[in-house]
Amino acid sequence: MNRLSFLRKPRAIALLVLSSLTPVTVTAKSTAPKLVLQITVDQLRSDMPGRLLDRMGDGGFRYLYEQGVVFADAQHAHANTETIVGHATLATGAHPSAHGMVGNVWFDYGLNRLVYNLEDERYPLLGEGTDVDKKTELDPTQKVAKVSGRSPANILASTFSDELALHTAGKAKIFGVSVKDRGAITMAGHAGKAFWFSKQAGEFVTSHFYYDANPPWVFAWNAKRAIKRYAGTSWELLQDQESYLHGAEDDQEWEIALPGYGRTFPHPFGKEESSIFTTLLTLSPAGDELTLDFAKSLIDHEKIGQDEVTDYLSVSFSSTDYIGHFFGPSSLESEDNLLHLDRTLAALLKHVDEKVGLDRTLIVFSADHGAAEVPGYLNQFGIEAKNVAPKTWDKGPGMTALKKRFGIAEELIQTYFHPYIYLNHEAIEARELDLAEVQAAVAAELQKFPAIAMAAASSALTQGELPDTDLTRSIAKNHNARRSGDVYVVFQPHSLTSDLEGTMVACTHGSPWRYDTHVPVIFAGAGIKPREVFRQIHTVDVAPTLAAWLGTKQPSCTAGKILGEVVEQRKR
């Protein structure tokens, strides 16, 4: 497909208008890299790699931490630390309030249903057997969407990759790859192309937003059925169990024992015909290995970094998140996964070095969010932690009194979907009640629950009525008037729900507390000299820093600052 053909499409015209509203960044000319490689690890809390560096090889995590500019205090500034929110923030340099990805899903009162962040019925997936509704019950986040089509249309801001496309008149090759659609599409932006793994098909897929038909190399990669090599095998420990920090903790009562997979090593994948075979692959290092294999094929066939125009490739690794949810971040499974991930990262960087050269590749490494520890694990150390049951909130005596006060006989809380309470607007409108008053009353009542640190009414956020604190600022950065719910709920530190959208898990993320907001941010390659930086930065700083290095416009809604410790090292 002609690289300029996208300019004839309505989505590109809208992007051009959006981007034209931002000021041009004026920079001196520099020697541009051949490739910008953005690596994101789903649910990688900042401290996690450091615990294992002494047992890792030289080409993966150690290369990044020893050869890069490492920002030791990098934080997400928004309150809802979920996958789509973090990826979109890294991509756009904007807060969720501006880029619009306020949660993995949100309730749309016009449609009267939950909306998946990237759903778009106009652009169905290519091929057969990839309908979202047919996915396994172990992938509930996807099941809430009743639309199988996917596109970046719901992202309200331009991304760095969009700006690179505009800057190069469409000549830059731009791709995003991940097991998760939301890990691939966000980073590729509106102007790039994205591929993600379909558990239903056991293949990497894309949508009609990007192609009318899969490129031949994608057909070839899928035809080899890479998943077959895992059939009848197991996830086994990479090293001797005695050498692991959590070697004696392979069977914890809070871990989730999936059918046939169990809580202890080895974890059998079972037969390829099994309905959960591909799900189990993503719940192991195999998910990242498949992502790596596909990304390498993409680099080779699309000739990434092989001409004078800077290309962009995002690779988002998802296994750490799946494993963390079911076993906890401080588990033998999570520990072994990171050792496997180290090898996967090393293999990716080695391939890029061979094809492009790391000295001609600008690498940025980060995570979409961190991870909470399992309450049971914290309890062992005397730290009070517990699970919360949001489904009981509407039935408490305080809510019963509120419903009587407002004359509402039915449910006042229509649904809770993290992190928002959605009220029964139909009942409120039928009684001609003031929505802001009801929101404030519900928030005040919720605040009485011991497990809730703060309940912020949407109207109070919009009108700036809340006290100016770090917590309220992080909630405000997550607030988009068209998509956010009626009340934003923040659990107390170490209080979390074990119900992840209908599936029982060991732990979740999504809070504004440091264990969820503190993530790695590392820039490496492209002649960068190693340095550790201890001043606090934010993930919104990543995109404008990339823009400054390449001399593109900053993405349209950028709220971050240019990281001087990185950009000052450009070769002029």
Instruction: Supply the CATH number for residue 408's domain.
Output: 3.30.1360.150
| φ, ψ of residue 266 in degrees (nearest 5) | -75, 155
Residue with tokens 């690596």: 39
152 lies in the same domain as 297: yes
Number of domains present in the structure of the chain: 2
The enclosing H or E element of 286 equals: helix 286-301
- Rounded to the nearest 10°, the torsion over CA 13, 15, 21, 27 is -110
In a domain, 193, yes or no: yes
Residue-level length of the chain: 572
Predicted local confidence at residue 169, as pLDDT: 98
- Report which of 257, 113, 91 is spatially closest to residue 174, judged by C-alpha positions: 91
Find the domain containing 471 and state its range: 386-493
In a domain, 504, yes or no: no
216 lies in the same domain as 93: yes
392 lies in the same domain as 311: no
Predicted local confidence at residue 11, as pLDDT: 44
Spell 411-444 as b/e; 16+ CB within 10 A means b. ebbbbbbbbbbbbbbebbeeeebeebebbbbbbe
Predicted local confidence at residue 497, as pLDDT: 79
Q: Is the dihedral of CA 218, 190, 360, 44 positive or negative?
A: negative
Domain boundary among 493, 523, 557: 493
In a domain, 311, yes or no: yes
In a domain, 498, yes or no: no
In a domain, 263, yes or no: yes
142 lies in the same domain as 256: yes
Please check whether residue 377 is in contact with residue 332, taking contact to mean a CB–CB distance below 8 angstroms: no
391 lies in the same domain as 304: no
How many Å apart are CA 375 and CA 373, to the nearest integer?
Answer: 6
Strand pairing report for 311-317 and 174-178: parallel
Please check whether residue 179 is in contact with residue 282, taking contact to mean a CB–CB distance below 8 angstroms: yes
179 lies in the same domain as 241: yes
146 lies in the same domain as 119: yes
Predicted local confidence at residue 502, as pLDDT: 59
Global confidence as pTM? 0.92
How many Å apart are CA 513 and CA 41, to the nearest integer?
Answer: 19
Task: Quote the tokens at residue 169.
Answer: 């008149």
Mean pLDDT, 10 residues at a time, the chain of 572 residues: 37 41 39 96 98 96 98 98 98 98 95 94 78 37 65 98 98 98 98 97 98 97 98 98 96 94 97 97 98 98 97 98 97 98 98 98 98 96 90 83 92 91 96 97 94 96 93 98 96 83 80 98 98 98 98 98 97 72
- Kindly give, in sequence order, each residue whose CB lies less than 8 Å from that of residue 486, ignoring residues fewer than 6 positions away: 420, 421, 422, 423, 435, 438, 439, 442, 457, 458
In a domain, 57, yes or no: yes
Spell 450-467 as b/e; 16+ CB within 10 A means b. ebbbbbbbbbbbeeeebe
Predicted local confidence at residue 291, as pLDDT: 98
Please check whether residue 46 is in contact with residue 74, taking contact to mean a CB–CB distance below 8 angstroms: yes
Sequence letter at residue 417: F
- Report which of 177, 285, 273 is spatially closest to residue 225, judged by C-alpha positions: 273
* CATH number for the domain that contains residue 239: 3.40.720.10
Strand pairing report for 234-235 and 495-496: unpaired
Where does 356-389 have alpha helices with state H?
A: 375-379
263 lies in the same domain as 116: yes
Spell 378-407 as b/e; 16+ CB within 10 A means b. beeeeeebbbbebeebbeeeebeebbeebe
In a domain, 507, yes or no: no
393 lies in the same domain as 359: no
Predicted local confidence at residue 504, as pLDDT: 74
> Which long-range contacts link 240-248 to residues 24+ away (Cβ below 8 Å)?
241/265, 241/332, 243/55, 244/332, 244/335, 244/336, 245/51, 245/52, 245/335, 246/330, 246/331, 246/332, 246/335, 247/332
392 lies in the same domain as 365: no
Task: Quote the tokens at residue 337.
Answer: 């996964």
Q: Is the dihedral of CA 401, 402, 408, 411 positive or negative?
A: negative
Predicted local confidence at residue 499, as pLDDT: 66
Please check whether residue 251 is in contact with residue 264, taking contact to mean a CB–CB distance below 8 angstroms: yes
How many Å apart are CA 99 and CA 92, to the nearest integer?
Answer: 7
303 lies in the same domain as 245: yes
Task: Quote the tokens at residue 503.
Answer: 């599936």
| φ, ψ of residue 386 in degrees (nearest 5) | -160, 165
Check residue 264 and give left, alpha or beta (phi > 0: left; psi -120 to 50: alpha).
beta
Predicted local confidence at residue 10, as pLDDT: 41
In a domain, 381, yes or no: no
365 lies in the same domain as 339: yes
